[in-house]
Structure 1
């Protein structure tokens, strides 16, 4: 009985091993080499790509401008701007092409509904498979519901 069981397992193992072999037919399909994205630091120069709002009042929308300069010898196209959350709104011209030495601006708005420190990002996609992630941060503080009381003590000092 033991010999039959071992023989059955050996036959199954041989069957599985033969099922794993690949055919030896040759393929004549030629595949293109993978495209290598351009080095974005040699093509574009960014201003305000890591912006700090500092302290802002909570609930007050704010925005800033990101400037992108083409430092290459070829035209570049801004394809898309994808934000990390719904509280960030980009303003830009889609499929905007700009030549050597030209600059474009992308405005990134923040709803300001956060209370406390925040850190957000947006990813910009360009022609030539280039992309750049920009960030902005700040600290939203809660504005008091009522203003500070008037200082009536200054009236006493006056002669």
Structure 2
């Protein structure tokens, strides 16, 4: 009887662990997971829409989208996304400090432990540096 109970317990735990091993990538498909803004002007906020499609067999819920720092502000759909339908996670970046940046947005899908990681990168230039950058681009395009 003890062996039967232990075997049954092992089967139940194994089934539970297997059911929890779904990956977010099996439920949602993002068109891109990394976006490079390139060179942007300091103090000029930018946003990018990470588009995704629900590739699961049922509606999904995006529980949250959290950023790696306070300079990045993600927004996500608050309603379930139907099977086969698309939506977007919007990542906003405030561009307050000059220098290169590499920020991550963690997207939590209901029923999945591991979040999807979306990344935004680029370089924030001061107003003077940005003016020089734009001027050099204009010179190259006029040749």
The TM-score, its normalising length taken from structure 1, stands at 0.66
1:93 maps onto 2:92 in alignment: no
**Structure 2 partner of 1:81:** 65
Moved over 4 A (4+): 28-32
Of residues 97, 106, 122 in structure 1, which corresponds to 2:89? 106
Q: Does 2:119 match 1:144?
A: no
Question: Considering only aligned residues, what root-mean-square deviation do their CA atoms show, in Å?
Answer: 2.4
Mark the structure with the bigger radius of gyration.
1
Equivalent residue runs for 1:7-156 within 5 Å: 33=13, 34=17, 35-94=19-78, 96-130=79-113, 131-144=115-128
Q: Give SS of 1:140's match.
A: strand
Q: TM-score by structure 2 length? A: 0.73
Deviation at 1:49, TM superposition (A): 1.4
Contact 2:30 2:53 in 1 (8 A): yes
CA distance in 1, matches of 2:108, 2:90: 15
CA drift at 1:72: 1.9
The answer to whether the 8 A contact 1:112-1:140 is kept is yes
Higher fraction of helix:
2
Once the two structures are TM-superposed, the CA of residue 47 in structure 1 deviates from its matched residue by: 2.1
Give structure 2 stretches of 5+ with no counterpart.
Answer: 133-143
Equivalenced residues, count = 119
Q: Please give the alpha-carbon distance, in whole angstroms, between the structure 1 residues aligned to 2:44 and 2:107.
A: 25
